[in-house]
Amino acid sequence: MNPESVKQELSEALRNGLTAEAEQLTQQALDNGMDPLEIVQRILVPTLTDVGQRFQNFEIYLPELMMAGESAERVTALLEETMLKAGRPTVSFGTIILGQVEGDIHDIGRNIVSILLKSHGFKVIDLGRDVAASAFLDAAHKEKADIIGLSALMTTALPAQRRTIHLFDEVGVRNQFKLIIGGGATTQGWADEIGADGYAPDAASAVDLCKKLLDQPSPK
């Protein structure tokens, strides 16, 4: 099979969430000598960027996005395994901790962000809903995170975003991590007020923001 047709078929399998087929095609591409990084950059990222855009346009809905995201995650795992075996660094572009801040019990928006970030090669640790500030801090250390994403859909949860950032400040590790915020209740103004490193109004811009932040020189 020529590289172009593998590219096309793998892209199609990812779009349709056909995990087994996507894994098989990935293995085939690797067996044919295709570089794992090339698979990520030429197939995975453009396909999932397009899937994300189609979700933004409501051409597809969350279930389709989730299926594509799950397939991409499995393909990424396969590629990582291959690279580790070859003694090469993994394909992850960075580690991101995500969570709904304390007092907020919503899930769906953060799930969308998580799927898109994973599909763009980030390692995502999702702490779930109603996460205490201290749990963000613990996870940031444990996972050696690059970015901490604090989500709040409810206006009543906004103070918990400030509190979480403040805790990182208080324990003297604020400069070790990028702290970003998002969710329906948040704005750029609020991000500025609480000293966040970035604000993403929606899932697609969260991906752009993380890419931008990790390209910037780290203050570490």
Partner 1 sequence: MKNTDRLMNIIQRCLNGSIIDEEQFDSEHVTQGIRRVVKKYAIQLDRSHVVNLDDALADRVWSAALDFLVECGIFCLDTGRVIQFTHDEIEHILAEAPSEVQLGSGVDAVREQYRCVEDTHPPLNMGGPVGTPVSEQLFLPVMLSYVQEPNVDVVCPATLSTVAGSEIRTRSPLEIMAAWEECDWMMQVLQRAERPGMAINCVQISVSDVGFLSAISRNGYRPTDMHTLGMISELKVNFEQLNKVAHTIYQGGIIDPFANPIYGGLGGGVEGIAVLLTAEMVALNLVYMAVCHGSSPTHPFNFNDTGREIMQATSLSLQALARNCHLMTNMTVSPVGGPGTKTLLYECAAYTTMCTVSGISRILGPRSACGTVQDHVSGLEARFNGQVAQAAAQLNRGQADEIVQRALTFYEDLQDKKPVGKPFQEVYDLKTIQPSREWVKCYDEVLAEVSGWGLPVH
| Residues of this chain that bind partner 1 (CB under 8 A) | 55-56, 58, 61-63, 66, 102-109, 112, 154-160, 162-163, 184-187, 201-202
Q: How far, in Å, CA of 63 to CA of 80, rounded?
A: 26
* Residues in a beta bridge with 97: 125, 148
At closest approach, how far in Å is the CB of 39 from partner 1? Answer: 27
CB 51 within 8 A of CB 119: yes
Q: Residue 204: which of 52, 43, 10, 23 has the closest Cα?
A: 52
**Tokens linked to 8:** 């096309």
Output 184 or 195, the one with its CB closest to partner 1: 184
Q: Which CB sits closer to partner 1, 153 or 213?
A: 153
CB of 149 to partner 1, least distance (A): 17
CB 168, min distance to partner 1, A: 17
Nearest-approach distance from CB 40 to partner 1, in angstroms: 25
CB of 23 to partner 1, least distance (A): 19
**C-beta closer to partner 1: residue 77 or 105:** 105
Instruction: Give the residue with the Cβ less far from partner 1, 132 or 214.
Output: 132
- Is the four-CA dihedral 166, 171, 172, 175 of positive or negative sign? negative
| Structure token digits, residue 34 | 């295709």
The sheet that has 123-126: what strands, in order across it? 123-126, 95-100, 147-151, 178-182, 198-200
Structure tokens at 155: 């206006």
98: nearest Cα among 209, 218, 220: 209
Q: Report the residue number, 3 or 201, with the smaller CB distance to partner 1.
A: 201
- Which is closer to partner 1, CB of 112 or CB of 180? 112
Q: Which of residues 21 and 202 has its CB atom nearest to partner 1 in the complex?
A: 202
- Residue 126, helix vs strand vs coil: strand
Do 55 and 62 touch, CB atoms closer than 8 A?
Answer: yes
Shortest gap between Cβ of 72 and partner 1 (angstroms)?
A: 16
Query: How far is the C-alpha of 90 from the C-alpha of 81, rounded, in Å?
Result: 8
